A and B are shown apart, each in its own frame.
Chain A
Amino acid sequence: MSADNAYAVELKGVTFKRGSRSIFNNVDIRIPRGKVTGIMGPSGCGKTTLLRLMGAQLRPSKGEVWVNGQNLPKLSRSDLFDARKHMGVLFQSGALFTDLDVFENVAFPLRVHTELPEEMIRDIVLLKLQAVGLRGAIELMPDELSGGMKRRVALARAIALDPQILMYDEPFVGQDPIAMGVLVRLIRLLNDALGITSIVVSHDLAETASIADYIYVVGDGQVLGQGTPDELMSSDDPRIRQFMTGDPDGPVPYHFPAPDYRADLLGKRR
């Protein structure tokens, strides 16, 4: 068992490599149970990779990934299948099945993971769609939905099995302000009312800071900082400050490394 039951997810000394390139080096992250935890950092820093490590879609090169008291990389395939029933994921793209209508998209995990009779599947699908405000859309196909509606249907599907842990991968990307506001409210509501542990991976600072109880800032293959949104806002660390204030230049340079400008323009031509 994991050392501390106060944490739903614990990454202990996790290193992850793609080929010889390190994406994460000896990272420790603890996600408190029942809270909304933000994982933030610039695009391309490996936030989604972290989520995939937590869901055991990826195996760490080194270290332990504890979820609900189980070290996922050590589980058998069938135990991992069971463990994943307690984890919901809202994918960045929504990832709805384009050839299934809204009802069947939400019913899908219930059909795969349970033996509930059809009338109970229908009840639960309607309950989940009512929670996200889209019960009236059951017969629509994904291509008939707006981007915000797709995200909400995907959320209904992610909570179909009443997960203990819900992971959101860039939930606010490409959403208009109204859809964003709806998602922010839903994430908080589901977390608080259902006692879910929420992990929000995002680079949208304002929205994430408005709902997160605690935030990890990642970059350069490590945890750059952690704390409440207020603590991070007042951080003295220049790397955190640059991210939290959105400065174009700082420890993360504006310019991609390049040869001397003068030499490039006035020197010998390539």
Chain B
Amino acid sequence: MSEAAVRMSDVDELLLSGELNYRTGPDLRKEGQALIKSSKAASLVIDCSAVVKSSSVGLSLLLCFMRDAKAAGKAVSIRAMPEDMREIAQVSELTELLT
């Protein structure tokens, strides 16, 4: 099983990686929130290129981080959403909100 993680890169991009599921979701939520809060950048890019697998939890994490960024007055964009996340987003008619 691929361990899940969230970290801020040198260029202030939030990097999500591993499996985003019901087990890993709660910690990722807390850690991501803290990273966004401490970031000084005016905008936030959430990079999903290292996500191996995702359930609906992955989409909820994106929504949580988008709300955090909005509360901090940061513009937000999402990069490289993997296919399984796109499919769940499509079924839940969420695609437009995430682009």
Which residues of A line the B interface, CB within 8 A? Answer: 85, 110, 113-117, 119-120, 123-124, 127-128, 130-131, 161-162, 189-190, 193-195
Interface residues of B, count at CB 8 A: 21
**In the complex, are the beta carbons of A127 and B26 less than 8 A apart?**
no
Q: Which 10 A-B residue pairings sit nearest by Cβ, starting from the closest?
A: A123-B60, A127-B92, A162-B55, A114-B22, A120-B60, A193-B91, A131-B92, A124-B56, A131-B91, A193-B87
Name the residue of chain A whose CB is nearest to the CB of B63: A123
Name the residue of chain A whose CB is nearest to the CB of B60: A123
Q: Which residues of A contact B7 (CB under 8 A)?
A: none
Q: Which residues of B contact A114 (CB under 8 A)?
A: 22, 25-26
How distant is B26 from chain A, measured CB to nearest CB, in Å? 5
Interface residues of B in 25-73 (CB under 8 A from A): 25-26, 29, 55-57, 59-61, 63-64, 67
How distant is B61 from chain A, measured CB to nearest CB, in Å? 8
Q: Which residues of B contact A190 (CB under 8 A)?
A: 91
**In the complex, are the beta carbons of B93 and A131 less than 8 A apart?**
yes
**In the complex, are the beta carbons of A128 and B87 less than 8 A apart?**
no
- Main secondary structure, interface of A, reads helix
How distant is B52 from chain A, measured CB to nearest CB, in Å? 15
**In the complex, are the beta carbons of B64 and A189 less than 8 A apart?**
no
Q: Which residues of A contact B22 (CB under 8 A)?
A: 85, 110, 113-114, 116, 161
**In the complex, are the beta carbons of B25 and A162 less than 8 A apart?**
no
List, sorted by A's number, 19 A–B pairs whose CB atoms are closer than 8 Å.
A114-B22, A115-B26, A116-B26, A117-B26, A119-B60, A120-B29, A120-B61, A123-B56, A123-B60, A123-B64, A124-B56, A124-B60, A127-B60, A128-B56, A128-B92, A130-B92, A161-B55, A189-B91, A194-B88
How distant is A118 from chain B, measured CB to nearest CB, in Å? 11
Any chain A CB within 8 A of the CB of B94? yes
Complex: how many Å from CA A194 to CA B61? 19
**In the complex, are the beta carbons of B88 and A120 less than 8 A apart?**
no
Complex: how many Å from CA A194 to CA B60? 16
How distant is A158 from chain B, measured CB to nearest CB, in Å? 13
Which residues of B line the A interface, CB within 8 A? Answer: 22, 25-26, 29, 55-57, 59-61, 63-64, 67, 84, 87-88, 90-94
Complex: how many Å from CA A113 to CA B25? 13
Q: Which residues of B contact A130 (CB under 8 A)?
A: 92-94
Given contacts A114-B22, A117-B26, A117-B29, contact A162 B91 (CB under 8 A): no
Name the residue of chain B whose CB is nearest to the CB of A115: B26
Given contacts A114-B25, A116-B25, contact A127 B59 (CB under 8 A): yes
How distant is A264 from chain B, measured CB to nearest CB, in Å? 59
Name the residue of chain A whose CB is nearest to the CB of B86: A193
Complex: how many Å from CA A190 to CA B63? 22
Given contacts A115-B26, A116-B26, contact A193 B57 (CB under 8 A): no
Name the residue of chain A whose CB is nearest to the CB of B26: A115
Name the residue of chain A whose CB is nearest to the CB of B30: A117
Q: Which residues of B contact A85 (CB under 8 A)?
A: 22
**In the complex, are the beta carbons of A124 and B91 less than 8 A apart?**
no
Q: Which residues of A contact B64 (CB under 8 A)?
A: 119-120, 123
Given contacts A123-B64, A131-B91, A194-B87, contact A162 B56 (CB under 8 A): yes
Q: Which residues of A contact B60 (CB under 8 A)?
A: 116, 119-120, 123-124, 127
How distant is A102 from chain B, measured CB to nearest CB, in Å? 16
Complex: how many Å from CA A146 to CA B84? 32
